[in-house]
């Protein structure tokens, strides 16, 4: 009886070990549903039948793969993700490809352990899995990460744009896209690593007639933001079955995932007879190749968790009076973008879109603390369920020292016009607030009551010293009605009896942003901030980018900072489920072009966004008693007359 039991168990073990180190098998024509599979994946309903015993197989030993005869197989480095021959790996356990990776892994583990002790926290589940848990626990933990990503993918389904495909758009025009590392605020922006062309991944095999879902290995041929052009291994220079996919999608996995998840690797039908020994082919092709980190999907999931929640209250700029703020409530959060509904809006249609790191939103009480105008809400108490967003969630500005030489009322400068972002204009500091904030007005276009002043921080990349446009060969927009053209700063300062703000007070930091002219990206139309559009970088001045919306006239271009949270990598909309606006069709371009030629865009009583044709009120009746102006916390300093002019001196 015992001998029979042992034989049964032995047979069962052999059955479970018949899938090779890549999760691969050769006789896939006989595939059918396997009800006894031990897969821990969240796709457990798609199983594979037991394989014929005559097939050559490799035993699965976690992330280290060995042949049944004891010869060396493949291994994946737990630190850097490199795939290589097991015998060439470092240490007895063959978990790392080099001494450096082993030490780095050990160092990271120690740091995590020490930090946990200092914070009074127990070791993380992940640390336990890496250090002590058996293979079954590892697989269970990994399956849990996959399930989290799958659930998120279901709740944030991609919103397709009919007739537009980033892949086709880039391929047909040989475009390049800005890399994900250019966007620190976007998912994976700070942990993208060295994902590049040549990296191998495991993806669904669509060139297969099997009724069940199978996978194959593909290499990245081209990267465009989050999107990757993939080619199945074995196709060499044949691009006939190349396909685009979002590398952060739930169906993209590191090499070795199929083996640990019990999923089959099946070569595409088009090339299935190209090689007689596919395992040997994969060993040769994957030795030394890079793949995604084992925890890549977990990192994607974590980077798409946002601290702002619905029903949080914030202070945000009043879109009808730029000089003041109002209370608004977070109605929804998509990819870090907030739909804010002004608190007085009963039907919730009076809204405003911005990113959670936008300089236009602040914690409740911010306006009072710096002396900024604020419109009191008609609602005397918070509605049920609404609560103030914690101050630490908001983007911090750099601290400044206003005790010495500082900005003063009346000083001249150049600034991006928030009502016409394609223009850099002659501007004046109208009020100095606390904590480094300034109220700016555009010369020649200001309302008598100052209702179109707008707030910029002293470190804002949207304000510039006098002469910035001339030195960088940018067209400076002179004050409306100013007849003495071409505009000369030297003459204008003398005529207005004013001085230029000192150059040294402006932000001169230029990060190594990585953008280049011609790069494609997805960008918010800041005149209609609910829209994210297909766009191109057309000019770069230090940290300033000129963003062109594909299919639209140049006059709708916008000047944007390289670290703006309103710029995103190609594929961001698909990843987050946000609606992408494709390039404008020819009919729209023609109508916009004809209207712009008849009447050059300029500030007037109303400004119309170029895509949404409802007007944005710029100047309204005088501010009523509902608007409060808090006491300013910083006193103005008298001018000492030593301001330097950032201009060419006229003879």
Taking residue 193's Cβ as centre, other Cβ atoms within 10 Å add up to: 16
Residue 147: per-residue pLDDT? 53
Residue 152: per-residue pLDDT? 47
Orientation of helix 135-155 relative to helix 296-303, angle to 10°: 40
Residue 384 neighbours by CB under 8 Å, 6+ apart:
none
Q: Can you point out the beta strands (E) in 458-557?
A: 463-464, 476-477, 519-524, 532-541, 544-549
Higher pLDDT, 97 or 17: 97
Residue 531 neighbours by CB under 8 Å, 6+ apart:
524, 525, 581, 611, 612
Q: Over 80: is that where the pLDDT of 135 sits?
A: no
Contact indicator for 459, 400 with CB cutoff of 8 Å: yes
Contact indicator for 534, 583 with CB cutoff of 8 Å: yes
| Adjacent-strand bridge partners of 65 | 60
Q: Over 60: is that where the pLDDT of 423 sits?
A: yes
User: In whole angstroms, how far apart are CA 612 and each of 328, 461, 531, 627?
Assistant: 22, 27, 9, 29
SS3 content of the chain, % helix, strand, coil (to 5): 25, 25, 50
What the block records as the tokens of 333 is: 């959060």
Percent share of the chain, pLDDT over 70: 66
Residue 78: per-residue pLDDT? 76
Q: 650 pLDDT band (50/70/90 cuts)?
A: very low
Q: Over 90: is that where the pLDDT of 623 sits?
A: no
Residue 446: per-residue pLDDT? 84
pLDDT tens for each residue of 75-121: 777 777 667 666 667 666 777 777 667 766 665 554 454 444 444 44
Mind giving me the DSSP string for 245-258? EETTSTT-EETTHH
Higher pLDDT, 136 or 307: 307
Cα(585)–Cα(320) distance, integer angstroms: 30
pLDDT tens for each residue of 354-379: 999 999 999 999 999 999 999 987 66
| Range from 19-28, 99-108, 135-144, 323-332 that averages highest in pLDDT | 323-332
Question: Region 454-463: what's the mean pLDDT?
Answer: 96
Residue 449: per-residue pLDDT? 85
pTM: 0.72
pLDDT tens for each residue of 306-328: 999 999 999 999 998 999 999 99
Taking residue 523's Cβ as centre, other Cβ atoms within 10 Å add up to: 26
Residue 280 neighbours by CB under 8 Å, 6+ apart:
none
Higher pLDDT, 238 or 594: 238
Question: Region 446-465: what's the mean pLDDT?
Answer: 92
Cα(452)–Cα(605) distance, integer angstroms: 11
Element of type H or E holding 110: helix 99-118
Strand 532-541 and strand 580-581: the pairing is parallel
Q: 562 pLDDT band (50/70/90 cuts)?
A: very high
Residue 354: per-residue pLDDT? 97
Residue 644: per-residue pLDDT? 35
Question: Region 183-211: what's the mean pLDDT?
Answer: 94
Q: Over 90: is that where the pLDDT of 36 sits?
A: no
Q: 247 pLDDT band (50/70/90 cuts)?
A: very high
Residue 585: per-residue pLDDT? 80
Taking residue 40's Cβ as centre, other Cβ atoms within 10 Å add up to: 19
Backbone angles phi, psi at 109, to 5 degrees: -65, -45
Tokens 């495991």 sit on residue = 202
Taking residue 242's Cβ as centre, other Cβ atoms within 10 Å add up to: 16
Q: Over 50: is that where the pLDDT of 442 sits?
A: yes
Residue 224: per-residue pLDDT? 97
Q: Please state the separation of Cα 76 from the chain's center in Å.
A: 29
User: In whole angstroms, how far apart are CA 420 and each of 167, 319, 366, 417, 424?
Assistant: 32, 14, 26, 5, 9
């Amino acid at each position: 009886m015992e001998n029979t039991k042992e034989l049964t168990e032995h047979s069962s073990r052999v059955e479970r070990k018949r899938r090779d180190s890549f999760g691969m098998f050769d006789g896939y024509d006989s595939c059918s549903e396997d009800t006894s599979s031990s897969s821990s994946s969240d796709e457990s309903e798609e199983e594979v039948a037991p394989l014929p015993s005559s097939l050559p197989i490799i035993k699965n030993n976690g992330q280290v793969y060995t042949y049944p005869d004891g010869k060396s197989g493949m291994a994946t480095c737990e630190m850097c993700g490199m795939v290589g021959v097991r015998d060439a790996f470092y240490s007895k356990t063959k978990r790392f490809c080099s001494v450096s990776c082993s030490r780095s892994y050990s160092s990271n583990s120690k740091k995590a352990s020490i930090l946990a002790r200092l914070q009074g926290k127990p070791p993380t589940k992940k640390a336990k899995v890496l250090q002590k848990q058996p293979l079954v626990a590892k697989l269970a933990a990994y399956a849990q990460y996959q399930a989290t990503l799958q659930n998120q993918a279901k709740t944030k389904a991609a919103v397709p744009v009919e007739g537009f495909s980033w892949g086709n758009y880039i391929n047909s025009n040989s475009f390049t896209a800005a890399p994900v590392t250019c966007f620190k605020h976007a998912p994976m922006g700070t942990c993208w690593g060295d994902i590049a062309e040549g990296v191998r991944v495991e993806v669904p095999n669509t060139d297969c007639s099997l009724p069940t879902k199978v996978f194959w290995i593909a290499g990245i041929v081209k990267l465009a933001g989050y999107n990757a052009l993939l080619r199945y291994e074995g196709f060499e220079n044949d691009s006939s079955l190349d396909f685009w996919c979002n590398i952060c999608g739930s169906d993209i996995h590191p090499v070795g995932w199929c083996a640990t998840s019990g999923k089959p690797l099946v070569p595409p039908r088009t090339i299935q007879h190209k090689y007689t020994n596919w395992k040997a082919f994969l060993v040769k092709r994957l030795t030394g190749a890079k793949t995604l980190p084992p925890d890549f999907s977990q990192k994607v999931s974590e980077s798409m968790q946002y601290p702002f929640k619905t029903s949080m209250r914030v202070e945000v700029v009043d879109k009808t009076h730029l000089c003041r703020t109002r209370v608004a409530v977070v109605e929804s959060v998509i990819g870090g973008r907030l739909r804010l509904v002004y608190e007085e809006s009963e039907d919730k249609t009076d809204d405003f879109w911005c990113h959670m790191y936008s300089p236009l939103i602040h914690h409740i009480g911010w306006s009072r603390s710096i002396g900024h105008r604020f419109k009191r809400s008609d609602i005397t108490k918070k509605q049920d369920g609404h609560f103030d967003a914690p101050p630490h969630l908001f983007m911090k500005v750099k601290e400044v020292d206003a005790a010495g030489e500082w900005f003063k009322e009346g000083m001249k400068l150049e600034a991006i016009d928030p009502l016409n972002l394609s223009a850099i204009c002659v501007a004046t500091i109208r009020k100095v607030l606390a904590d480094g904030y300034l109220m700016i007005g555009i010369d020649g276009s200001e309302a008598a009551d100052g209702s179109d002043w707008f707030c910029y921080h002293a470190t804002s990349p949207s304000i510039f010293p006098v002469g910035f446009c001339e030195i960088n060969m940018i067209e400076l927009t002179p004050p409306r009605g100013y007849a003495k053209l071409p505009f000369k700063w030297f003459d204008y300062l003398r005529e207005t009896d004013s001085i230029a703000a000192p150059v040294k007070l402006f932000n001169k930091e230029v990060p190594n942003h990585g953008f280049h002219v011609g790069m494609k990206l997805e960008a918010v139309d800041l005149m209609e901030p609910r829209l994210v559009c297909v766009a191109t970088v057309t000019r770069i001045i230090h940290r300033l980018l000129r963003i062109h919306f594909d299919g639209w006239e140049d006059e709708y271009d916008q000047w944007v900072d390289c670290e703006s949270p309103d710029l995103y990598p190609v594929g961001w909309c698909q990843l987050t489920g946000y609606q992408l606006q494709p390039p404008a069709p020819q009919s729209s371009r023609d109508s916009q072009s004809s209207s712009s030629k008849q009447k050059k865009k300029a500030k007037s009583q109303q400004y119309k966004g170029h895509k949404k044709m409802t007007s944005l009120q710029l100047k309204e009746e005088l501010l009523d008693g509902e608007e409060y102006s808090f006491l300013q916390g910083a006193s103005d300093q008298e001018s000492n007359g030593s301001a330097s002019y950032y201009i060419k001196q006229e003879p």
